[in-house]
């Protein structure tokens, strides 16, 4: 589950990580009130107004703006709230902005230069350990740094047995070229950032940029945080931070009825039991010249009710031109699944306008095919994988 920048920063602050302070606002009036309060608390006279959407690159897309007084706070938040923000990480339609973070300006001039670093904590799947990834090249697209100057990205692997050691934090501060106060600040930053990651059951904490201010403070200017979905049951405070407006509406609905559904761009809807078979089915669709419109694993209990729910979810996607049902009858018998499909078809009546290809394999597969073939419904049945592929090709050519 992904969080907004302001929520990620709240978590960071609760673990003692220094952050660029700010307050979230739903409208220009709240933004102005937030700015006034910020000035009382921090003494700042300039502010940044930051669109809160689940996408990076907001700066480039015009979603991060400097405001030098309260009038600018009002006009900038007026312009940003309600806009469809397009960034390199969103679709061309953009993401609707519902709220902004009004934050203190931390790029003020002073004794020394400001510097922007990159730092993230994440699970390195190849070593099975958490690691800290960091770079002097902060503020910009880290994928670009990784592609063109990979030697500027460092990693530090953390032992699960002993956790992060102070020498590792010092090594990071050293590699980032820091000394004096900034060095000490950075070691504290790293230690508390890692603690935040570990104790919130996160799968990612990405801070880009980590800023060294002109008076040698180290703080988080941005925060991209993902909490492990499987840990949400024991992290209620974070679970409550979920913002469904940021998530795909069909996926939210599918998850609510317990279906494992991921929305994709293609035109062939698929309904499959088991994640492995679902992946193979998506390959099959591609090889037949189609593009999968979704990943959908209906799980072990493919009864009529579930099949119908799955149909309804798939049909919500206007791009679907055909549906391929590929179910292996192991525990569930194929004839029962066939009955389920017919039941759903009858219940949904003319809601189903696209051709349906059904491949049932396993227990009672032949009987299931017979049931479908004799049903008089516009369902094309197949027993073999290749047969199903050919039929997908056939209906796509129509
Ligand atoms: P992102 O573009 O979505 O990654 O959003 P960020 O929170 O990283 O902000 C984008 C950029 O805005 C940063 O890299 C900074 O250059 C700039 N920025 C953020 N906070 C401030 C601030 O307090 N003052 C100034 N002048 N610039 C800021
Ligand atoms: Mn950023």
Together in a domain, 306 and 281? yes
Residue that terminates a domain, selected from 69, 84, 105: 105
Together in a domain, 137 and 92? no
Give the pLDDT of residue 14. Answer: 98
Tell me the CATH number at 276.
3.40.50.261
- Pairing between β-strand 84-85 and β-strand 64-67 as defined by DSSP bridges: unpaired
Residue that terminates a domain, selected from 82, 105, 128: 105
Together in a domain, 263 and 364? yes
User: What is the block-wise mean pLDDT of the chain (398 residues), using blocks of 10 residues?
Assistant: 98 98 98 98 96 96 97 98 95 95 96 96 95 95 92 96 97 98 98 98 98 98 97 96 94 90 93 92 91 90 79 91 90 85 83 88 91 88 86 85
Tell me the CATH number at 231.
3.30.470.20
Specify the 3-state DSSP secondary structure of 274: coil
Nearest to 346 by CA among 270, 259, 380, 338: 338
Residue that terminates a domain, selected from 105, 137, 163: 105
Catalytic residue among 206, 261, 308, 345: 206
Backbone angles phi, psi at 223, to 5 degrees: -150, 120
Together in a domain, 301 and 234? no
The number of the ligand 1 atom at minimal distance from the alpha carbon of 59 is 2
Together in a domain, 320 and 253? yes
Task: Report yes or no: 187 and 210 within 8 Å, Cβ to Cβ.
Answer: no
Give the pLDDT of residue 398. Answer: 66
Together in a domain, 212 and 234? yes
The number of domains in the chain is 3
Nearest to 196 by CA among 258, 120, 140, 125: 120
Residue 19 DSSP label? B
Nearest to 119 by CA among 153, 160, 166: 153
Ligand 1 center from residue 76 Cα (angstroms): 15
The angle formed by the CA atoms of residues 219, 222 and 227, to the nearest 5 degrees, is 110
Ligand 2 center from residue 164 Cα (angstroms): 25
Together in a domain, 190 and 312? no
Catalytic residue among 10, 104, 116, 118: 118
Together in a domain, 175 and 132? yes
SS3 for 106-136, per residue? CCCCCCCCCEEEEEEEEEECCCCEEEEEEEC
Together in a domain, 283 and 375? yes
Kindly report whether the global pTM for this prediction surpasses the value 0.75: yes
Together in a domain, 189 and 233? yes
**What totals of helices (H) and strands (E) does the chain contain, helices first?**
13, 18
**Ligand 1 proximal residues by C-beta, below 6 Å:** 20, 48, 50, 56-59, 64, 66, 105-107, 139, 208-209, 221-222
Task: Based on the residue annotation, tell me whether 118 is a catalytic residue of this protein.
Answer: yes
Taking CA atoms only, the protein residue closest to ligand 1 atom 23 is 105
Ligand 1 pocket: which of 222, 223, 225 to mutate (most atoms <8 Å of CB)? 222
d(CA 66, CA 131): 33
Together in a domain, 265 and 351? yes
Tell me the CATH number at 26.
3.30.1490.20
Together in a domain, 389 and 276? yes
Boundaries of domain holding 319: 248-396
């Amino acid at each position: 589950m992904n969080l907004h920048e302001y929520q990620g920063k709240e978590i960071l602050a609760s673990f003692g990580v220094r952050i660029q302070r700010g307050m979230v606002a739903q409208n220009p009036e709240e933004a102005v009130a937030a700015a006034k309060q910020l000035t009382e608390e921090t003494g700042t006279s300039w502010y940044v107004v930051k669109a809160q959407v689940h996408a990076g690159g907001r700066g480039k897309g015009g979603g991060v703006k400097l405001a030098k007084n309260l009038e600018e706070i009002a006009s900038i938040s007026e312009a940003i709230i309600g806009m469809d923000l397009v960034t390199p990480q969103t679709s061309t339609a953009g993401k609707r902005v519902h709220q902004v973070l009004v934050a203190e300006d931390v790029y003020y001039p002073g004794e020394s230069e400001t510097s922007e670093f990159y730092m993230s904590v994440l699970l390195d799947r190849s070593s099975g350990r958490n690691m800290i990834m960091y770079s002097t090249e902060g503020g910009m697209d880290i994928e670009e740094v990784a592609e063109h100057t990979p030697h500027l990205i460092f990693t530090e692997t953390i032992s699960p047995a002993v956790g992060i050691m102070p020498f590792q934090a010092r090594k990071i501060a050293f590699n980032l070229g820091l000394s004096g106060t900034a060095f000490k600040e950075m070691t504290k930053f790293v230690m508390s950032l890692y603690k935040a990651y570990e104790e919130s059951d996160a799968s990612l904490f990405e801070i880009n940029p980590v800023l060294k201010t002109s008076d040698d403070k180290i703080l988080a200017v941005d925060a991209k945080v993902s909490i492990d979905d499987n840990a949400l049951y024991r992290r209620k405070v974070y679970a409550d931070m979920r913002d469904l407006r940021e998530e795909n509406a069909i996926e939210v609905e599918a998850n609510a009825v317990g279906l494992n559904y991921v929305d994709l761009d293609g035109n062939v809807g698929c309904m499959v039991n088991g994640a492995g078979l679902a992946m193979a089915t998506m390959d099959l669709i591609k090889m037949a010249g189609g593009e999968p419109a979704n990943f959908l694993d209906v799980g072990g209990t493919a009864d009529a009710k579930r099949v119908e729910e799955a149909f309804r979810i798939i049909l919500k996607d206007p791009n679907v031109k055909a549906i391929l049902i590929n179910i292996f009858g192991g525990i569930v018998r194929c004839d029962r699944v066939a009955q389920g499909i017919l039941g759903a078809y009858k219940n949904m009546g003319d809601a189903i306008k696209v051709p349906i290809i059904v491949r049932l394999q396993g227990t009672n597969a032949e009987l299931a095919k017979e049931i479908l073939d004799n049903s008089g419904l516009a369902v094309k049945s197949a027993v073999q994988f290749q047969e199903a592929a050919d039929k997908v090709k056939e209906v796509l050519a129509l």
